[in-house]
Structure 1
Amino acid sequence: MLVEKTEILDKAERYIELMQGKVNPQYRQQYHLMPPVGWMNDPNGFVYFKGYYHLFYQFHPYDSKWGPMHWGHARSLDLVHWEQLPTALAPDEDYDQEGCFSGSAIEKDGKLFLIYTGCQEVAGVMHQHQCVAMSEDGLHFTKFSANPVVAENELGSAGLISEFRDPKVLYHNDHYYMVVATKTPDSRGRILMFVSDDLLTWQFNSILLEGNQKQGIMWECPDLFHLDGKDVLILSPIQIQKNGLEYFNTSSTMACIGAVDWQTGKMQVDNFHEIDFGMDFYAPQTTTDPTGRRIMVAWMQMWDRTFPTHDLGHGWAGSMTLPRELRVKNNRLLQKPISLVYGQLEYQQGLENIALSETPTVFRKALKAADYIHLVADLSEANYFSLDLLRSKNQALNLNYDVKEELFHVDRHNFGREILGSEIEPVNDRKVKVPLIDGQLVLEIFRDTSSLEVFINGLEVITATFYETEKGEDIAFTADGNSRILAFETATIKNN
């Protein structure tokens, strides 16, 4: 017999209160959302509700590794500073006793609805089915008495009940639609779509899209939205095959840009491409702000890797990316830092017109407290450009650009604590092809205690975590040709 729901949630809250003061702060982030204790992975239920941005997340409070999933919960006024709230969901019913897996949130009639995957073992088979919880205030949630709302009957032969998860709900043409991940019998990713008038009674609608043998064995965390005249489906393929410089992680992220035929429920895709070229970016989810801008956040970590904060016994693991504003241009998904962040910056220094050479130009203590770096370099006559961040006596995090090949490269080899992974290729460096714009390289870099997000010429992003073993505060530039830094400024993010 299961323990009463309130007891399980209260137990989690008591444990969090007891343990959060015992978490080792060495690698704790300053302005990225983290769990108060324990383990965090996928963002869930990203939504704007009653004046706040709410972000839920996959959460195991009792250990810094994956375990029975709860839904952690935080809210923010500015998408930069987050307030931790009580745990929203716990595995406290028969239908979700093996975990409350990922899902989404939507407002209806002034109430907040959470739609999530409940996991239950039935006769030795894991059943993943979709469930609903509701709230009047966005803080306290009651699970629907008739859960699950989408299960074997609604799924039918369209997918596998053991691999059927991560519902994202949207409103279109006076109906609610739910996109859900599953897989084909021969292990290809497949996204299903269900339809409802009230969020509580659902019917199968269509197979929205499915992948080929090269596009992974399972597609997780689908998110469907319309932006700039295009329909966009973002998802997270497992074991997708490498394609040029794309999909070097065991688990990757992909944007599908095209058009949905709402009569047939099918999607025609014009372009597939990776969303972020870094080592640590997974399970992105989006919402809209009150002005209609599309905002995305992702788990800033990766599966099948070592987690230094867990291995060191620090009592926590995982964080979220800085939220990003999205646009579609030329059938590609473009990202830029959330505009609200700029109002939170306090600029430290600004330099202009710095001549570079093959001898490093070093700025001492330039990153002592810097959270943000803005850099514009004229490389019109150069062959290469190199930037050492967090430079100490023996180590540096290297960013470099090959002008001829148009390749931007982030390299964390021999920097900080070693991170290992299941990939055949090295897990500590990534490259992306980005052309110069009028001969210039423009970088916006958000650096936190243990993460780096690099926005490159407004076209591509590389996200990476790191764990320093030597405190590095210097920055060094190297380039050939008649290269110059036209603008270089650093800033810190204001405290709450």
Structure 2
Amino acid sequence: MYFNGVYHLFYQYNPKGAVWGNIVWAHSVSHDLINWIPLEPAIFPSKPFDKYGCWSGSATVLPGNKPVILYTGIIDKNNTQVQNYAVPKNISDPYLREWVKPDDNPLIVAEGPVNKTAFRDPTTAWLGNDGEWRILVGGRYKDTGMAFLYKSKDFKKWTKANARGILHSSPRTGNWECPDFYPVAINGSNGLDASVKGPNEKHVLKVSLDATRFEYYTVGTYHPDTDTYEPDNTSPDNWKGLRYDYGNFYASKSFFDPSKNRRVLWGWANESDPVKDDIKKGWAGIQLIPRTITLDPSGKQLLQWPVEELDTLRGPNLSWEDVKLEKGDPFVVPNVTGAQADVEVVFTFQSLDKAEPFDPKWKDLDAQDVCTEKGDTPGGLGPFGLLALATKDLAEYTAVHFRVFKDGDKHKVLLCSDGRRGSLRQGMYAPAFGGYVDVDLKAKMTLELRTLIDHSVVESFGENGKTCISSRVYPAKAIFDKAQLIAFNNGTEPITLENIDVYSMKSPKMN
């Protein structure tokens, strides 16, 4: 949340080890979303209503400038989950270091057929037309994912918001974790507070799928008169749905930043190395670079982009124009710190004629499956892109690349982030992630890519953030000054780097 000029990040943390367990609410603060100061934990198990764990939740700033946290407490060894609240002990403390959990907790308990062990992660609240607050709690009924909906006049007594007590559900999606629900402006790039209502916005419902450990979202319409949500017919409402990120990205949460009128998204990147390595290095899991969220002009999907403050870490700009990439003739980017870089590239090509035919069998597969099958093997129009965290002999590299297919009278653009050669170490989980990019290549014969490289992370944003992929890799040799950055083309169609702008990145103040 943003409160009195300070950004507050609360996150799930184990103070006793690098693996999951002993979870508390850690707390860090920042003035710019980039440099962070760690504080003591804000919430930790101490009461009967959270004795066995303080799990995820959200913050809401109530009228009168009063912040309140809603979180999931575990009350017994059976993993029974309830929803609690906490408030600052001293509102005049600029960092809100201490939080109090009143004894009138819990606020919400699972009733009736609701699965009490799958009932967690309350959202930021929004104010309805009737003057009552509303929140979602994630869960399931059998194999149907549920977004339970509650309302309250005083933020203390909560009841079902409609007869079913459900905003939305989807069969065969399993348990919904970390739901997020917020409006997005149909026109313009400004973010919206959760309580904004009117004819000029859509709503987004995002859920984290416990069964698959990825997330999907839909764009649709919120009906406040019935307290229901209806996804648009352009948003698949199942495991095949749109995703914020097609790689290592989970348990995300957004917030409205009133200081810059934007919605900011935080995503967690889990690990790709074995648990024994996590224990050895003493930590596991990171927050990725915060992103702004806007609605694409098409209205069909979101756009994501690194927050503008990230640019403060950029070193001098290295720039090239009109660099030709013939098949198998790479461009090794000189004078850049390849282990810590920000790269923006515009790729152009003269013809779509060499695009490979899209295999009909792929229509039922995820983009990741197609990336896995094709890899960076030679093709027609693509693959072309970047080799990040690469060694000189290419024994290690993570390939971020486009490949264009001909599918009937249209073209299908695939973005891959392939980490299968990202490390020579054993036991790594580094698959070939992938997502399709919704773009009309006949209208413009270009594709744009921005990639953030940070030692064990490669975050890529295709076509101004239409398709995003984050990969976790731990190179054995392509580390520090041994890491190279290479632009490549393995297709028979020549590619031109119309522009390539590269910045070596400085390190922020971290925990």
The structure-2 alpha-carbon separation of the partners of 1:83 and 1:236, relative to structure 1 and needing over 3 Å to count, comes to same
**Corresponding letter in the other structure for 2:261:** G
Gaps (5+ residues) in structure 2? 186-200, 352-379, 406-411
Aligned counterpart, 2:474: 467
Distance 2:124 2:422 in 1: 41
Aligned counterpart, 1:204: 160
The structure-2 alpha-carbon separation of the partners of 1:306 and 1:344, relative to structure 1 and needing over 3 Å to count, comes to closer
Distance 1:288 1:187 in 2: 32
1:236 is the counterpart of 2:214: no
Whether the 8 Å contact between 1:115 and 1:133 is mirrored in structure 2 is: yes
Distance 1:348 1:321 in 2: 23
Stretches of 4+ aligned residues off by more than 6 angstroms: none
Q: Per the alignment, in what secondary structure is the counterpart of residue 342 of structure 1?
A: helix
Aligned counterpart, 2:448: 442
Aligned counterpart, 1:217: 174
Aligned-residue offset at 1:387: 2.3
Q: Deviations over 1:127-175 (max 9, x none)?
A: 1000011012322101012111111xxx322511221100013222332
Distance 1:310 1:139 in 2: 32
Q: Per the alignment, in what secondary structure is the counterpart of residue 118 of structure 2?
A: coil
Aligned counterpart, 1:451: 457
The number of equivalent residue pairs is 425
Aligned counterpart, 2:255: 287
**Corresponding letter in the other structure for 2:114:** G
Q: Deviations over 1:439-468 (max 9, x none)?
A: 112111111121111000121100111111
1:99 is the counterpart of 2:49: no
Q: Per the alignment, in what secondary structure is the counterpart of residue 92 of structure 1?
A: coil
Distance 1:448 1:343 in 2: 15
Q: Per the alignment, in what secondary structure is the counterpart of residue 287 of structure 2?
A: coil
Aligned counterpart, 2:344: 374
The structure-2 alpha-carbon separation of the partners of 1:370 and 1:299, relative to structure 1 and needing over 3 Å to count, comes to closer
Whether the 8 Å contact between 1:78 and 1:340 is mirrored in structure 2 is: yes
Q: Per the alignment, in what secondary structure is the counterpart of residue 316 of structure 1?
A: coil
Q: Deviations over 1:271-290 (max 9, x none)?
A: 23332343310011011112
1:190 is the counterpart of 2:146: yes
Of the candidates 402, 405, 420, which is equivalent to residue 413 of structure 1? 420
1:311-326 correspondence runs (5 A) = 311=278, 313-326=280-293
1:13-52 correspondence runs (5 A) = 47-52=1-6
Aligned-residue offset at 1:311: 4.2
Whether the 8 Å contact between 2:245 and 2:468 is mirrored in structure 1 is: yes
Distance 1:343 1:482 in 2: 35
1:147 is the counterpart of 2:105: yes
Whether the 8 Å contact between 1:380 and 1:440 is mirrored in structure 2 is: no
Aligned-residue offset at 1:267: 1.0
Whether the 8 Å contact between 1:446 and 1:453 is mirrored in structure 2 is: yes
Q: Per the alignment, in what secondary structure is the counterpart of residue 311 of structure 2?
A: helix
Q: Deviations over 1:41-68 (max 9, x none)?
A: xxxxxx1111111110011110110002
Q: Deviations over 1:244-289 (max 9, x none)?
A: xxxxxx2111112111222222111112333234331001101111
The structure-2 alpha-carbon separation of the partners of 1:361 and 1:168, relative to structure 1 and needing over 3 Å to count, comes to same
**Corresponding letter in the other structure for 1:86:** E
**Deviation larger for 428-437 or 327-336:** 428-437
Whether the 8 Å contact between 2:339 and 2:454 is mirrored in structure 1 is: no
The structure-2 alpha-carbon separation of the partners of 1:261 and 1:87, relative to structure 1 and needing over 3 Å to count, comes to same
Q: Deviations over 1:59-96 (max 9, x none)?
A: 11101100021001111111111111111111111211
Whether the 8 Å contact between 1:252 and 1:274 is mirrored in structure 2 is: no
**Deviation larger for 99-108 or 165-174:** 165-174
Aligned-residue offset at 1:367: 3.3
Aligned counterpart, 1:24: none
Whether the 8 Å contact between 2:338 and 2:504 is mirrored in structure 1 is: no
Aligned-residue offset at 1:347: 2.8
Gaps (5+ residues) in structure 1? 1-46, 240-249, 422-426
Whether the 8 Å contact between 1:309 and 1:317 is mirrored in structure 2 is: no
Aligned counterpart, 2:500: 488
Distance 1:299 1:387 in 2: 24
Aligned counterpart, 1:301: 270
**Corresponding letter in the other structure for 1:196:** S
Aligned-residue offset at 1:317: 0.7
Q: Per the alignment, in what secondary structure is the counterpart of residue 79 of structure 2?
A: strand
Distance 2:180 2:276 in 1: 30
When the two structures are superposed, what TM-score results if normalisation uses the length of structure 2? 0.79
Aligned-residue offset at 1:202: 1.2
**Deviation larger for 431-440 or 351-360:** 431-440
Whether the 8 Å contact between 2:278 and 2:284 is mirrored in structure 1 is: no
The structure-2 alpha-carbon separation of the partners of 1:254 and 1:489, relative to structure 1 and needing over 3 Å to count, comes to same
Q: CA RMSD in A?
A: 2.0
Whether the 8 Å contact between 1:365 and 1:473 is mirrored in structure 2 is: no
Distance 1:460 1:112 in 2: 34
Aligned-residue offset at 1:343: 4.1
Aligned-residue offset at 1:368: 3.9
**Deviation larger for 371-380 or 411-420:** 411-420
**Percent identity of the aligned residues?**
25
The structure-2 alpha-carbon separation of the partners of 1:324 and 1:311, relative to structure 1 and needing over 3 Å to count, comes to closer
Aligned-residue offset at 1:306: 4.6
**Corresponding letter in the other structure for 2:319:** G
When the two structures are superposed, what TM-score results if normalisation uses the length of structure 1? 0.81
The structure-2 alpha-carbon separation of the partners of 1:369 and 1:163, relative to structure 1 and needing over 3 Å to count, comes to closer
1:29-178 correspondence runs (5 A) = 47-108=1-62, 109-121=64-76, 125-135=78-88, 136=91, 137=93, 138-151=96-109, 155-157=110-112, 159-173=114-128, 174-178=131-135
Aligned counterpart, 2:368: none
Aligned-residue offset at 1:236: 0.5
Aligned-residue offset at 1:112: 1.9
Aligned counterpart, 1:17: none
Whether the 8 Å contact between 1:365 and 1:474 is mirrored in structure 2 is: no
